[in-house]
Structure 1
């Protein structure tokens, strides 16, 4: 009897994780979002004068069994002569029982508003995979769940981005197709398809670069994320940059109801070609306090400029 009850508890947990992936897992959580905001807003793919490669790795709630781990690798840059940009990225998210894998490509087009103010508009499309590891159930149990363990669906996002050499502001919406991500709906009599849809979420971002003197720059930034049936998440950060080479900063992350994390980050810019950054989240949530915090590493490689523009972005 106890074994049977355990089996159903585990099955319910897998089902819940599969349903929740549509709301939680695809909403990528990066503390160093300012260095790879292309994955947040596809319009950013057309705002630089050079091609670049960006990679992120995040280990959420270190010390907690099956703590979420997220990997991201992307590349994007401009057309040599036309005001447009291209790019793409790969993502992989694993929380032990479920994995979420994505492959995307993007296109962006920018127009001049006035002076050095430009507006970029972008779209991104790709395919995502949701996979559940049914081995989380007791492998010796003869009554096992059946069904397809993997599902592929199309995905997409849209964004606009206003920018100059000193400030930026963006708005984007992800998962515009509102697709069903569930794999195990046949095992739940009370299943509601709306609970398992890959729900759209919205990002509002902004930042400003202030030059203190010839050695120091200060860059505050903010990112607000919101999704139906999901708490608002707000990241507020301040970064100090020394001689455009070394930086450090602090930030806070709030949910709709409380303080979620305190963030410390630092980084190094080698010869304006390679960026390396590290951040540590001090978890303040009731669940996160049982962990050793969250670790994140960022690596970026910048290539030579392929076009010259008066609106060249100097932020980052």
Structure 2
């Protein structure tokens, strides 16, 4: 019962079911298109990726997320295009996003490229009150009838990278929604950065981090540490935590800020095909015995003629 109450607190954060938060990913570091449209075309070749995440397996109504994306460069090499779709479900709420991404890439040095990106699309939001049955039937804050709505969505971002370094800033859900339904997606801001160094002939080390904030609670920060072996196998870990960097005033300050430790492995089975898996160890005592699994696959359409590929596997 404690686990159920905690989940309801997460979903009802605020005064009602007003916002579906951005989906949580552990393997975004292998496909940043899901958080930054300026990333479109960064790997030059056309690349398709898919994610499936099941959080807190065994807990009814726990978050589960799916995502697919495709992106690449156009013929003039200055324009990146992409598409991604996500489905994110938490208990009685369900949000689907369908987005077209575009980026303009400006070389600023022999290896440095600065990109500006825009993503436009639509979101579908639904609340199914039947999923609350036998839990809190008399709670006045819960929506009592099924509600659905379609709304436009707009994301923006910038991304800079060389062959060894990257940094990006992006913001999602820029448009304000004026709907009768209790759907008001909160604007989220992302800042990412990482670097790759050689530790030997066949080993590379990539530390990175991501900061995510909506300024209504603690900032979510991921610290990532990965090793690449023989340009084929990524092994690493992440530590995800909450830090009240901007001194935001929010409910639940007494709850632990710790979230999870993640272990990950991504293997390039061939030059075209990537397979990844992540396991999250939740650090909150109430949920520590529940597993979180995330699987990802990637496929690259290589060109027939050999071309220089900028940081093909690092970012």
Q: TM-score, normalised by structure 2?
A: 0.84
Query: Which residue of structure 2 aligns with residue 66 of structure 1?
Result: 61
Query: Which residue of structure 2 aligns with residue 217 of structure 1?
Result: 204
> Gaps (5+ residues) in structure 1?
1-8, 185-195
| Distance change >3 Å, CA 20–CA 108, structure 1 → 2 | farther
Q: Where do residues 129-208 of structure 1 align in structure 2 (5 Å cutoff)? A: 129-138=124-133, 149-180=147-178, 183-184=181-182, 197-208=184-195
Offset of residue 313 of structure 1: 2.2
Q: Where do residues 1-316 of structure 1 align in structure 2 (5 Å cutoff)? A: 16=12, 23=19, 25-138=20-133, 149-180=147-178, 183-184=181-182, 197-256=184-243, 258-289=257-288, 291-305=289-303, 312-314=310-312, 315-316=314-315
| Distance change >3 Å, CA 78–CA 152, structure 1 → 2 | same
Distance in 2 separating the partners of 1:181 and 1:70: 25
Contact 1:49 1:307 in 2 (8 A): no
Distance in 2 separating the partners of 1:308 and 1:161: 26
Distance in 2 separating the partners of 1:198 and 1:155: 10
Contact 1:121 1:159 in 2 (8 A): yes
- Residues 18-58 of structure 1, C-alpha deviation per residue, up to 9 Å, x if partnerless? 976654x4412111110121111000003221000010111
Contact 1:123 1:159 in 2 (8 A): yes
Query: Which residue of structure 2 aligns with residue 4 of structure 1?
Result: none
- Residues 56-106 of structure 1, C-alpha deviation per residue, up to 9 Å, x if partnerless? 111111121111100000100001224111011111011231111110001
Distance in 2 separating the partners of 1:15 and 1:311: 42
More helix by share: 1
Which range moved further: 208-217 or 156-165? 208-217
Distance in 2 separating the partners of 1:123 and 1:266: 30
> Gaps (5+ residues) in structure 2?
245-256
Contact 1:18 1:182 in 2 (8 A): no
Distance in 2 separating the partners of 1:228 and 1:219: 29
Rg comparison, structure with higher value: 1
What's the C-alpha RMSD, in Å, of the aligned pairs?
A: 2.8
Offset of residue 209 of structure 1: 1.0
**Bigger RCO (CA 8 Å, 6+ sep):** 1
Contact 1:164 1:311 in 2 (8 A): no
Distance in 1 separating the partners of 2:11 and 2:294: 29
Q: TM-score, normalised by structure 1?
A: 0.83
Distance in 2 separating the partners of 1:281 and 1:14: 18
- Residues 221-256 of structure 1, C-alpha deviation per residue, up to 9 Å, x if partnerless? 111000031321001111111111122111100112
Matched length: 290
- DSSP-derived class of the 1:81 partner: coil
